[in-house]
Amino acid sequence: MSLKEEGRVVAYSSLMPLQEDVIRPLLLDEIRERDIPLTAIRQWTDPRISVYIASITVKSTGDLLTDRERGLLIIRHTLKWALSIDRQFDIKNWYGIGATREGQGVFERLGFTEIISLYGGERKGYYIDDVKKPVRLINHLLQEMHPDEAE
C-alpha cells in the first residue's frame, strides 16, 4: 500500500503471508527480506497463515507536523487493510520488526508483544495473534486522522 502526493510515493506499507519458520530468522536479523525464498511466501487463501509486517515507512520531509500526519495516515490505512485481511483469511499470527523507537512505540501501543530485542533494544521483534485485540486503541487511531471516516 502506498500514500502518494503529487504523483510521488511519500509513505508505504507492506504485509506478507509467510511460512512461520522464515519469520524468526527475519526477526533475529539472520536474514533480510530480499533473502526470503519464494517457496516461503504463502497464498492469502492458505489455511492458518502468519503475516509479516514487512514495512511501514514515511519519507521524511523535515517538517515534523507533515511527517506525523503522513505517518498517522499510512498507519491508519495499514490497520484498515490488516483488519480487512483478518476478516477475509485464516490468519494465525502477525509479526513485525520495530527498527526505530517510533516503530517500536506503534507496535507496543497496538498491543503487540515484544519477543526479540537486539542491539541494545534498537531493533525489536513483535508478535500478536489477533489484530482485533486492541479494538479501542485501533478505533482511536482510526479516528485520530479522520473522525468522520472511522468504522
Would you state the pLDDT for residue 149?
Answer: 47
Would you state the pLDDT for residue 80?
Answer: 87
Nearest to 56 by CA among 118, 103, 95: 103
Would you state the pLDDT for residue 150?
Answer: 41
Q: Report residue 125 CA to chain centroid gap.
A: 11
Is the distance from CB of 61 to CB of 5 less than 8 angstroms? Answer: no
Q: Give kind and range of the element (H or E) at residue 9.
A: strand 8-18
How is the chain split into domains, by residue range? 2-149
Domain 2-149: state its class. Answer: alpha beta
- For 103-139, what is each residue's pLDDT tens digit? 998 898 888 999 999 999 999 999 998 877 765 556 6
Cell of 41: 511466501
What is residue 121's three-state secondary structure? helix
Paired with 52 in beta bridges are 16, 95
Q: What is the CA radius of gyration of the chain?
A: 15
Would you state the pLDDT for residue 110?
Answer: 85
Would you state the pLDDT for residue 95?
Answer: 97
Nearest to 145 by CA among 72, 64, 60: 72
Would you state the pLDDT for residue 130?
Answer: 84
What are the per-10-residue average pLDDT scores of the chain (151 residues)? 93 96 96 95 96 93 93 89 92 95 89 95 94 64 52 42
